[in-house]
Amino acid sequence: MFNTKYISEEEAKNLLDKDEITGYLKIEDDKPKVIVTTSGINETILKYVTEEISQSSEIMKNVAEKRIESYIETTPPEEIGDFSSLYETIYKEVIEMQNEDVNIKDISSSNLSYTMIEFYTLIAMTCLYGGILGMVAINQNLANMSSKGKRVSVTPTSKGKVIFSSLLAGYITQLIGLAILFIYTVFVLKVDYGTNLPLIILLGMVGSLAGLSMGLVIATVIKSNENLKTGIVISVTMLRMFLIRNDGNYNEIYN
């Protein structure tokens, strides 16, 4: 799996800075420490495999210690002698444990892959960018933001109905964009969402409403020009995308 080389830490740092290696390991207090500079697929695999080996070693060490303690506690002192047979028994148990299949139940079908994380992030981004539509819907009805807002402010029509109709139009527009995204990813890119596609679409619809609401709140609370409001909506959206993507890279499901 790995092309391993034993080199000095200084040389490893230079290679890592030049992106010629994925990362390197150094032993601190008899434990391996993974050194990487990014959070890509290869880096995640390196970290995961290292942690698995460390955990397996710790488990085997604990098994050996418990077997020895149990032997000492249950065996009369006069019968405790050569531990060679006990060590051989422990060794066989550890080897059997090591060769057993790991009991992992995959409840995520084929959806929880590194590639799918990118598409889920894309869907989330599409939903949250609906905040732009929510912001525009509010700005268009504010007298200090647009000429339409000035006309709306002097009309006898209920302001609540005007704003609601604007938000509804924005939500419908957002759903059309979301539908185009799903059609493109499913039929053109051939993305396999598995059996959860209806739930993903439902989640996308709810997410679109959340994005629209975010834009509504920002446009209402921030008393400034449209450019500043747009910048805030985009900044908040990109920050949340960063957190979603990096959280997805390190979330795994175990039984």
Ranges 14-23, 95-104, 136-145, 229-238: which has the least confidence: 95-104
In a shared domain, residues 94 and 210: no
Helices (H), the chain: 9-17, 41-74, 84-99, 114-128, 130-139, 147-154, 159-183, 197-221, 226-250
* 77 pLDDT higher than 60: yes
Asked if residue 108 belongs to a domain, the reply is: no
Residue where a domain stops, chosen among 32, 65, 99: 99
- Domain assignment present for 32: yes
Asked whether residue 255 is domain-assigned, the answer is no
Structural tokens at position 227: 């450019």
CA distance 130 to 249: 25
Same domain membership, residue 210 and residue 162: yes
pTM listed for this prediction: 0.50
Q: Give domain status of residue 2, yes or no.
A: no
Q: Which residue has the higher pLDDT, 189 or 40?
A: 189
Q: Are residues 78 and 184 in the same domain?
A: no
Q: Two tokens at 151?
A: 């006309």
**52 and 147 share one domain:** no
Which of 99, 126, 160 is the C-terminal boundary of a domain?
99
Report the pLDDT value the prediction gives residue 246, as an integer from 0 to 100: 59
Residues of the domain holding 178: 114-249
Structure tokens belonging to residue 101: 């299949």
Torsion angle, alpha carbons of 217, 220, 223, 224, to 10 = 70
Domain final residue, candidates 43, 74, 99? 99
